[in-house]
Amino acid sequence: MRFLFLLIYLGFLSLLISCSTEKIDPLSLKISPQDIEKAELAPAPSELVIQKRLLLPLIVSIDEELKTKNRFEILQTIHDQFRKHGLFSVITQEQINHLRSQEGYNKFKLNNVADIIQLAKKVDAHFVSQMEIVLDSEQPDLSDHYQAKIDLAVFTADTGKIVFRENILFDNQNPKNSIQRLKNLVQKFFPLRGYILKTRGKKQAAKISIGSSLGIKLDREFLIREKIKIRSTINGVEQTTFSFTPLAVARARVIKVMENESWLSIDEKDRSKIKIGQIAFSEPEKVSFFE
């Protein structure tokens, strides 16, 4: 009991501290010569356009005892988290069934990576999810209450490289835990990406190209990375692709949110590394003590 009261006290203390922290008004900061410094590789105009990731969801197997309305409830819960937190569009089961009824696709196996990649190419999907859903046999059959075990794997549509694989227990009368877990997975493996558009106050604050329309909120943390060139030779032909530095040059926090843009506060020790055109990757939202 004493430990519980301590946790509650610390939670209130943390809340009071965060509320009392002075908020910076980025527009009150002057633009200095340092604030016009640009990254070597500036984003192309097309990169500044918000582009959704297309997900091809495949049900490899599903418990036959699971009612149709319960199947819909499970799939809707999963796909809502991808839409809300990962900037995804999701291909519907009706579209998938129509595709698989066509000649040449009706014999494809949904657990065969080569077949899946062909299906994904047909619909221009970027990622594929595989799901195996079974009822939890340990739970009693009580009216509309059910629990389902979901084996969820997500991989890239072009190469079949696994992004993550997790087992999730879905309880339709208490879905909060499974929803939170799905949200964390999507935010961890599919961060939102914004570009630094300008800085102010000798890089004390930086404006990025995404905002509340994509679910960005105050105090959300971002990692700033540099865009880099990767040169390789394939069959004697030199090719150039682009990626991002694996290590972040800075960590930042949202202090002002607009519909399509946000302002980040940059730690003093990192300000010299910040440049216009760098990329800000969202970190998973922190779970509140009171959630």
Domain boundaries, the chain: 23-50+191-282, 53-189
Alpha-carbon 11 to chain mean position: 27
Instruction: Give the C-alpha separation, 169 to 172, whole Å.
Output: 10
Predicted pLDDT at 108: 87
Give 40 or 289, the one with higher predicted confidence. 40
Q: What is the pLDDT of residue 18?
A: 46
Tell the burial category of 80 from Cβ atoms under 10 Å away from its Cβ (0-12, 13-18, 19+).
middle
Cβ count near 151 (within 10 Å): 15
| Higher-pLDDT residue of 204, 136 | 204
Higher-confidence residue of 229 and 265: namely 265
The residue that leads in pLDDT, 286 or 148, is 148
Confidence band of 228 (pLDDT split at 50, 70, 90): confident
- DSSP character for 118? H
Q: State whether CATH 3.40.50.10610 applies to domain 53-189.
A: yes
pLDDT at position 2: 52
Mean pLDDT of the chain: 87
Worst-scoring range by mean pLDDT, 9-13, 58-62, 92-96, 225-229? 9-13
**Mean pLDDT of the 140-166 span:** 87
Residue bearing the bigger pLDDT, 220 or 108: 220
CA Rg value for the chain: 23
The DSSP bridge partners found for residue 221 are: 253
Predicted local distance difference test score (pLDDT) of residue 288? 64
Tokens 């630094």: give the residue.
196
In this predicted structure, what is the pLDDT of residue 141?
56
Please compute the mean of the pLDDT values over residues 130-156 and round it to a whole number. Answer: 83
Asked if 276 and 34 touch (Cβ cutoff 8 Å), the reply is no
The pLDDT of 8-36, averaged and rounded, is 67
Contacts 24+ apart (CB under 8 A), 132-135: 132/59, 132/60, 132/61, 132/62, 133/59, 133/61, 133/62, 133/63, 133/66, 133/71, 133/74, 134/61, 134/62, 134/63, 135/63, 135/65, 135/66
Judge contact between 79 and 53, C-beta under 8 A: no
CATH no. for 23-50+191-282 = 2.40.10.410
Q: Is 174 exposed, middle or buried (0-12, 13-18, 19+ CB in 10 A)?
A: exposed
pLDDT of residue 140: 53
Cα separation, 155 vs 6, in Å, equals 43
Q: In percent, how much of the chain has pLDDT > 90?
A: 59
Amino acid present at 228: I
